Structure 1
Amino acid sequence: MTTEGWNEEQARKLSETRDFINSNARIVEALVNRRAEIAAERERIFQIMAQQNARMDQVRLEIRGLQTENRRILDILLNKQQEDDSEES
């Protein structure tokens, strides 16, 4: 596009429009980059959450095992106490 025959006002408006377009392009590029950063951060958070969930599952299993062992020990102690009470009678 040639600007021959354009007056100074038209040339100024064209320059301002071009500057505005370039500014918008930089803003869009920055937004796209930020969106990619946010997506990567979100993915990292999801990975951490998955790791934490797996760890919580492991802890739950360990707690269940300890509860089972505690019940077994309690049953043994209660049975022993009942046997001792029976022997005393």
Structure 2
Amino acid sequence: MGLAGDLKDDLVGLVRDPTDEQKSILVAIVAIAVADRYFLWIDFPFVVRTTAAVGVGFIALFVVSYLLTGHLVPPDEDDEGGYDDEFHP
């Protein structure tokens, strides 16, 4: 199928039935764009504006992820129950 087919399938999946991660990332992208335009209106310097906008995007990403999943970090699917330290058995 190739790269183009995979990208098409991913885009169709995003539009028809997005996962929680895709929803969170989309909200973060929108938050970055809105914050960047807002900071442009205030007339912040470019570096300050973009750094602050990315910070707003990260905050939005974590808030939306928590609201959608109920966890800040999603649990591992393949977690076998504990931590195995190979140096101290």
Normalising by the residue count of structure 2, what TM-score does the alignment of the two structures yield?
0.30
Normalising by the residue count of structure 1, what TM-score does the alignment of the two structures yield?
0.30
Greater RCO (CA < 8 Å, at least 6 residues apart): 2
Between structures 1 and 2, the one with greater helix share: 1
